[in-house]
Amino acid sequence: MKESRRNFVKRAAALTAAVMTPAVEMAEEPAKVSTGPSQPPEARPLRIGVSTYSFWHFRGPTVDVGECIEKAARMGFDGVEILHRQMTDESNAYLQEIKQRAFSNGLDLMGFATHQGFLTPDPAVRKENIDHTISCMELAYKLGIPTMRINTGRWGTSKSFDDLMAQKGIEPALPGHTEEEAFRWVVDSMEKLLPKAAECGVLLGLENHWGLGRTAAGVLKILDAIRSPWLKVTLDTGNFLEDSYRQMEMLAPHARLVHAKTYFGGGEWYTLDIDYDRVAKILRAAGYKGYISLEFEGKADPEKGVPESLALLRKAFGN
C-alpha cells in the first residue's frame, strides 16, 4: 500500500528527532572540571651578579669596569653591578660602550653602587652630596641600570676606615650634635633625591652600611620617615656585625637588591661565617625575586675567590 504523503513526513520527522536527541544531550552535558589540588609553579632560581668591587678593594691600580665585565662573563655570572668609583670616564661614549659590552657578553647591568655622605651639620656639604647623587642617578639612567645603592654617610670621627672597622662600624657623633639631628639631615637630603629617581626610573636602595644605616632599625627609621616607592633597601649580608640573621629578616621585605659578601682567603677587614642556605630561606620567606650581587671581600686572588663564591651562591640560591 502506498504511504500517504502526510504519514511519510510525520515518520521522517520522528526518525530525525530520534537520531539527533543523543547528540543534543551530549552537547548540553556540562564539562567535567578537575577538583584536585593545583600545583604552584616552582620558584625560579635567583639570578647571581657580581659587583666590580669584587675585583678591586680600593687597593692597587683600579680595575676598569670593562675588564670586570669580561671577567664576569667568563666566570658565568648573570649580571654586573658597577661601582661608580671604578669608572675611568663618565662621557656618554664610555657609558654606551660599557652598556654594549655587557649586552654582547649576555650580562645585565643590574646595579650601580655609589658613595655619598649626608651625615654632616654643614648644609653646603650636604648639598654637594645631593648633587653628586643626582648626577650618579643620571649615569645609571644612561646605562639602563634600574637600581642604585646609596648610604647615609658616617660621622667621620674615626681616624680611618681601618679604625672604623676595628670598632665594628661604631663611631661617636661630632661634638655638639646628636643622632636625632643626623636623622633629620639624612631624611631631608634623601627627600631631595626622589624627584630625580622617579624621573630616571632609578630605584634608590638604602644600604645597611655604617653611619645611621649600621643597623636594620636605623635603615627602617629612614624608610618610615620618607615612605616613597622610590626608596627601598639594598641588603648587605656582611654589614651586620651583631644578630645578623634577625636584622636581615627585618630588611628582607624591603630589599630590592642583595649584596652577598664572601671571604675566601680571609677578609680584608674581618671575616664572617655567613650561612647562605639560611639567608636564602629568609629571602624566600619574604618573597624576594631580585638579584644576588656578589661582593667578594677576601684576600684570595679574585681569579680563584670569585668563581668559588659564585659556586657557593649558586648552591644556596639555585632553588
Query: CA-CA distance, 232 to 142, in Å (whole number)?
Result: 21
Q: Average pLDDT over the chain, rounded to whole?
A: 89
Contact predicate 139/172, CB 8 Å: no
Among residues of the chain, what percentage have pLDDT more than 70? 86
Query: CA-CA distance, 125 to 210, in Å (whole number)?
Result: 19
Q: Strand pairing partners for 149?
A: 113, 205
Domains along the sequence of the chain with CATH: 48-317 (3.20.20.150)
User: Band of the pLDDT at 106, cuts 50, 70, 90?
Assistant: very high
What's CA 15's distance to the chain center, in Å? Answer: 72
Residue range 27-76, pLDDT digits in tens: 444 444 444 455 555 678 999 999 999 999 988 899 999 999 999 999 99
Q: Is the pLDDT of residue 253 over 50?
A: yes
| Three-class SS state of 111 | strand
Contact predicate 295/261, CB 8 Å: yes
Residue range 280-299, pLDDT digits in tens: 999 999 999 999 999 999 99
Residue range 170-204, pLDDT digits in tens: 899 999 999 999 999 999 999 999 999 999 999 99
Residue range 70-96, pLDDT digits in tens: 999 999 999 999 999 999 999 999 999
Locate 140 and state its grid cell: 645609571
| Three-class SS state of 8 | helix
Whole-model pTM: value is 0.85
